[in-house]
């Protein structure tokens, strides 16, 4: 079975203050990437209904728009935990096009598309990222090998008391899009795809 993704997710009201807090604690910002995330499912929505997801992500350099990498990720149903936790298997692929054709041949189609800007921060024991999500604003995620490691990193960067969100961006965006009367299958930045 795939190892579990174990992460803390929380809203960031002031991203510049959060960046400064990370820098003061020895974390350095990496290159910001622009992501296009596409979920695939069958016509019955079997993956979604089971709590699983199949995601194809393309990451582009924010600076010049060049492709950084393409990732295929399977996320299993959530596991009971104090944090957001679920099985995850991920691999880098050369390009998205052939996979989309394969998915179509086996009855899978794009069911949801969302964009995101992500800045990673290095220097700690766990991975810390700052995300900007259309319609919803800024969030941080701290991912580590164990719950204890994630909580330790939260304490180290001064966010131990942050209210945690145990659902993913797709769920948060779906709720927002439905409540706002927008296309329930697309969450993109203004002028985005």
CA 184 to each of CA 18, 140, 171, 172: distance values in angstroms, whole numbers, following the listed order: 31, 24, 11, 11
Would 52 be classed as within a structural domain?
Answer: yes
Mind listing the pLDDT tens digit of every residue in the chain (193 residues)?
568 999 999 999 999 999 999 999 999 999 999 999 999 999 999 999 999 999 999 999 999 999 999 999 999 999 999 999 999 999 999 999 999 999 999 999 999 999 999 999 999 889 999 999 999 999 999 999 999 999 999 999 999 999 999 999 999 999 999 999 999 999 999 876 5
Angstrom CA distances, 18 to 13, 118, 150, stand at 9, 14, 17
* 189 within some domain: no
Kindly state whether residue 192 falls inside one of the protein's structural domains. no
Question: Is 186 part of a structural domain of the chain?
Answer: no
- The whole model's pTM is what? 0.94
Q: Does 193 reside within a domain?
A: no
- Could you tell me if residue 94 is inside a domain? yes
> Is residue 164 included in any domain, yes or no?
yes
117: domain range? 4-181
Q: What's the domain count of the chain? A: 1
Q: What is the CATH number of the domain that holds 146?
A: 2.40.320.10
Q: Which positions ≥6 away from 105 have C-beta within 8 Å?
A: none
Instruction: Give a yes or no: residue 63 inside a domain.
Output: yes
Asked whether 55 and 72 are in contact (CB, 8 A), the reply is: yes
């Amino acid at each position: 079975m795939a190892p579990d993704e174990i992460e803390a997710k929380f809203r960031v009201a002031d991203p510049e203050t959060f960046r400064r807090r990370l820098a003061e604690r020895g974390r350095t910002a990496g290159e910001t990437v622009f992501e296009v995330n596409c979920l695939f499912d069958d016509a019955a929505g079997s993956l979604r209904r089971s709590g699983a997801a199949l995601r194809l992500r393309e990451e582009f350099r924010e600076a010049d728009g060049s492709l950084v990498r393409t990732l295929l990720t399977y996320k299993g149903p959530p596991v009971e935990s104090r944090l957001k936790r679920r099985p995850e298997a991920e691999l880098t692929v050369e390009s998205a096009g052939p996979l989309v054709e394969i998915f179509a041949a086996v009855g899978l189609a794009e069911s949801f598309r969302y964009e995101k800007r992500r800045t990673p921060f290095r220097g700690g024991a766990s991975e810390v990222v700052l995300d900007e999500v259309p319609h919803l604003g800024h969030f941080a995620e701290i991912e580590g090998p164990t719950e204890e490691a994630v909580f330790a990193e939260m304490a180290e960067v001064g966010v131990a008391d942050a209210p945690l969100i145990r659902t993913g961006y797709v769920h948060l965006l779906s709720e927002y899009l439905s409540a706002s009367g927008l296309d329930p299958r697309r969450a993109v930045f203004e002028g985005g795809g």
